[in-house]
Amino acid sequence: MSEKTLDAELVKQAQKGKLHAFELLVNRYQQKVSNVVSKFVKDIHENQDVTQEVFIKVFRALPNFRGDSSFYTWIYRIAVNTSKNHLVAKSRRIQNSNVEPSDAENFASAADYRSLDTPDAVYARGELEQAMSKAVESLPEELKSAILLREVDGLSYDEIAEQMKCPIGTVRSRIFRARDAIDAALKPLLSENTKRTAYVR
Amino acid sequence: MSDKSNQNISELIDGELDKNSSEFLLKRLMSDKTLSESWNNYHLIRSFLQKENQAPLLHNMGQSVIAELKGKSISQDMTTSKSSRLLKPFMGSAIAASVAIMAVFMFQSNTINHDNTILAETAANSFKTSDQLITPPAAYTARVEQPIYNTRYPSITPQIQQYLTDRNAHFSDNLPRYYNAEYLNQLKKRKTIDNTAE
């Protein structure tokens, strides 16, 4: 099943009202959408809010999705429009509020203070990224190449097999083992993070 | 959960798993929490590797989106039920008002079509004539020539006369009686003449 068919199947299930299928779709496209939003919205916290808003709009518009274009092309358009609307609304809000000249002067340089993230969340995110970076670095060379060719260069398994001069079965195994190794490094942090979030909430 | 299942998920997210296995695995993903956790973690790894400079690293946003959607649908339901509860008394009075307006409108359109003399009599006596009660505005009326004193109801057709006579005979006194304003006026006049003669 190609990635496009997989998306189409998940969309079909979500259109039938299966929220779990939509959850899988969100987790599949969250980063791509966030990357699009980040081109318009620079603030990290706002980015998360806008990304979430994009998916809520996507869910509401799901009955209208006919599958003429790919799911990603469709949500890409929604992400761009939502980001632009957010910027317009924000500029209106800024015009209507009384900003002190001193605050305006410090606005650009005070990104750390603007973020509404708790120090815990910032630390956890940083810790997660560090752990992942370390796990990728410590992978055996053939696993690292396989996962990077797949995730960064976007090559298919056939193309990777050709490039690495190995059977496709080996590529399947290498990519999985790479993911499994990084996942093993993440799991303790993720469970700790979940506990922390649950405590904060 | 076996390594085989995890490998299948890894292949599924890359679109490299065969159709039958993909469909089967998707069904399991919908119900198996451990499998969907692997789906999320493998996508988190993808997110990290594909992350652009400005974008934050996102993990399991699906959960918060679903919570938000559920919350919104519940709050929407609540607001609609609240507003409908608030609107209920107004809806009742609105219906009553519209019925009253319709009644006034119909009464006016009915009276416009009638003869001025009958209108004047009706207004004077505050009674509805037999024409008003029986004849619909668009109906075709046939005039029946009759000697005026041969009947109790001189201005209406013999069939209607018969009907009114039967109905009045049938009902007891405490029920409303069908009468004719013209006849009533004549009775009043006769009584006044008799009184003055005495």
Q: What tens digit of pLDDT does each residue of B104-132 get?
A: 777 666 555 555 555 555 555 555 555 55
Binning pLDDT at 50, 70 and 90, where does residue A1 land?
A: confident
Q: How far apart are CA A34 and CA A22, in angstroms?
A: 17
Taken in order B120, B126, B132, B137, the sign of the CA dihedral is positive
Nearest to B54 among A20, A38, A55 (CB): A38
Q: Are A81 and A98 in contact (CB under 8 A)?
A: no
Contacts with B60 from chain A: Cβ below 8 Å: 27
Place of tokens 């699009």: A36
Q: How far apart are CA B121 and CA B130, in angstroms?
A: 12
Q: What is the ipTM of this complex?
A: 0.79
**B 30-69 → A contacts, CB under 8 A:** 30-31, 36, 38-66, 68-69
- Find the helix packing angle between B19-31 and A3-15, rounded to 10°: 40
A137, A131, A145: which is closest to A175 by C-alpha?
A145
Nearest to A26 among B18, B65, B70 (CB): B65
Residues B127-142: what's their mean pLDDT? Answer: 55
Inter-chain residue contact A129 with B6, CB threshold 8 Å: no
Residues B37-56: what's their mean pLDDT? Answer: 84
Residues A152-178: what's their mean pLDDT? Answer: 93
Binning pLDDT at 50, 70 and 90, where does residue A182 land?
A: very high
B18-41 residues labelled b (16+ CB within 10 A) or e (exposed): eeeebeebbeebbeeeebbebbbb
pLDDT of residue A199 exceeding 50, the answer is no
Report how many Cβ contacts below 8 Å link chain A to chain B.
Answer: 164
Contacts with B73 from chain A: Cβ below 8 Å: none
A145, A128, A12: which is closest to A67 by C-alpha?
A12
pLDDT of residue B37 exceeding 60, the answer is yes
Model pTM score: 0.60
Q: Are B63 and B36 in contact (CB under 8 A)?
A: no
A60, A57, A34, A55: which is closest to A46 by C-alpha?
A34
Residues A72-79: what's their mean pLDDT? Answer: 92
In eight-state DSSP terms, residue B176 is P
Q: What tens digit of pLDDT does each residue of A114-124 get?
A: 444 555 655 66
